[in-house]
């Protein structure tokens, strides 16, 4: 239930934003500058009081009386928007948009912005770290040493491997560049191949089925859409090399997690590293599998990346407040994708 049950009405064009819900629990903790930007511009900030990811019930209570929101992974659904009839702007402190009902926001005339690119370097770093940890057996060596056994794990070097990248956008391009610099052969799949970056890095563009068969390392860098949900299916896993490794720092829902667990347990796949999951916090069977590195959706969690994201989210909101062009409004293509998903 909303804290006060009001009828939803279209926002007035001259109505100023004065009260903003900031739902990410750590917003402003690395550096108070983004909060200061808002408060010095006359914005009253309502902060997350729970110190955790907010659920829909939390959001419905906290958003009441707010004109705008700076949101993270929290749900901004139709039910949440119903509790804020004066809501006029949604500023995402994130790149992913799957937790926002874009179509309802558009129907109600509520613009949505995001921070595209702000986390690209940090996610790339974690991806490369996971790749190196898997192919050099870092977790295996650490576990054996702590168990009292001294074993020099014989790993593999990138200059002897083929890396397959599914999705060569901002992050995929950076990952390709970093791994190519180590000498890896790069093969990739993308709906719209970037021929220029392909030529620069020597990328071979191929179909997904061939990529799964030929890659020693598979990295996922795509959003979840009807075309990509469970793109790493039971069938795809069955075609991969038995010593191949799989890395997902993009979005949960891209991998059939049950099928992945079976493939790892049976030795049909060499290893995996996941930073994102279908349901988070994750408590599934992959936690019991040794050759699987799991991290807590921390791809963007570097200090510099987080600060860039918060500053950009605040700037997007302040531009809207001042009647200036918002630099990073969500493009029409994202609305089209969500409409396709809803069909």
- Which residues are catalytic, by number? 251, 280, 297
Distance between CA atoms of residues 339 and 72, nearest Å: 21
Chain centroid to CA 258: 21
Mention every residue, 6+ apart, whose C-beta is less than 8 A from residue 6.
85
Among left, alpha and beta (phi > 0; psi -120 to 50; other), residue 254 is alpha
Residue 336 burial (10 A CB sphere; 0-12, 13-18, 19+):
exposed
338 in Cβ contact with 106 (< 8 Å): no
- Other CB atoms within 10 A of residue 162 CB: 18
Q: Calculate the CA dihedral of residues 215, 221, 226, 230 and round it to 10 degrees.
A: 50
Distance from C-alpha of 309 to C-alpha of 117, rounded to nearest angstrom:
9
> What is the distance, to the nearest Å, from the Cα of residue 54 to the centroid of all Cα atoms in its chain?
17
* Tokens (6 digits) for 280: 């988070």
Longest dimension (CA), the chain: 70
User: Are the CB atoms for 86 and 68 separated by under 8 Å?
Assistant: no
The residues that bridge with 245 in the sheet, in sequence order, are: 217, 271
Tell me the residue length of the chain: 343
Is residue 218 classed as helix, strand or coil in its secondary structure?
A: strand
Work out the number of other CB atoms within 10 angstroms of the CB of residue 213: 14
């Amino acid at each position: 239930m909303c804290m006060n049950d009001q009828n939803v009405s279209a926002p007035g064009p001259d109505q100023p934003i004065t009260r903003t819900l900031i739902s990410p629990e750590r917003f402003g903790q690395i550096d108070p500058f983004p909060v200061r930007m808002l408060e010095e511009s006359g914005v009253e900030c309502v902060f997350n009081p729970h110190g955790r990811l907010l659920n829909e019930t939390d959001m419905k209570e906290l958003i009441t009386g707010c004109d705008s929101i700076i949101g993270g992974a929290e749900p901004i659904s139709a039910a949440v928007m119903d509790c804020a009839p004066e809501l006029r702007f949604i500023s995402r402190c994130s790149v992913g948009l799957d937790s926002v009902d874009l179509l309802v926001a558009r129907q109600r005339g509520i613009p949505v912005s995001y921070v595209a690119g702000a986390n690209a370097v940090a996610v790339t770093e974690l991806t490369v770290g996971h790749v190196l940890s898997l192919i050099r057996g870092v977790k295996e060596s650490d576990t054996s040493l702590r168990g009292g056994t001294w074993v020099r794990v014989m790993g593999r070097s990138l200059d002897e491997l083929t890396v397959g990248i599914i999705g060569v956008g901002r992050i995929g391009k950076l990952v390709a560049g970093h791994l190519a610099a180590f000498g890896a052969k790069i093969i990739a799949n993308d709906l719209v191949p970037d021929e220029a970056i392909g030529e620069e890095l020597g990328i071979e563009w191929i179909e997904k089925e061939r990529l799964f068969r030929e890659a020693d390392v598979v990295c996922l860098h795509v959003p979840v859409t009807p075309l990509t949900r469970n793109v790493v299916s039971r069938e795809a896993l069955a075609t991969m090399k038995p010593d191949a490794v799989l890395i997902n720092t993009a979005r949960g829902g891209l991998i059939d997690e049950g099928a992945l667990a079976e493939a790892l347990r049976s030795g049909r796949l060499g290893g995996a590293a996941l930073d994102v999951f279908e349901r988070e916090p994750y408590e599934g069977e992959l936690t019991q599998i040794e050759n699987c590195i799991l991290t807590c959706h921390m791809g963007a969690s570097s200090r510099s990346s987080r600060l860039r994201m918060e500053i950009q989210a605040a700037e997007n909101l302040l531009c809207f407040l001042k009647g200036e062009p918002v630099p990073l409004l969500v493009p029409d293509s994202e609305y089209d994708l969500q409409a396709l998903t809803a069909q």
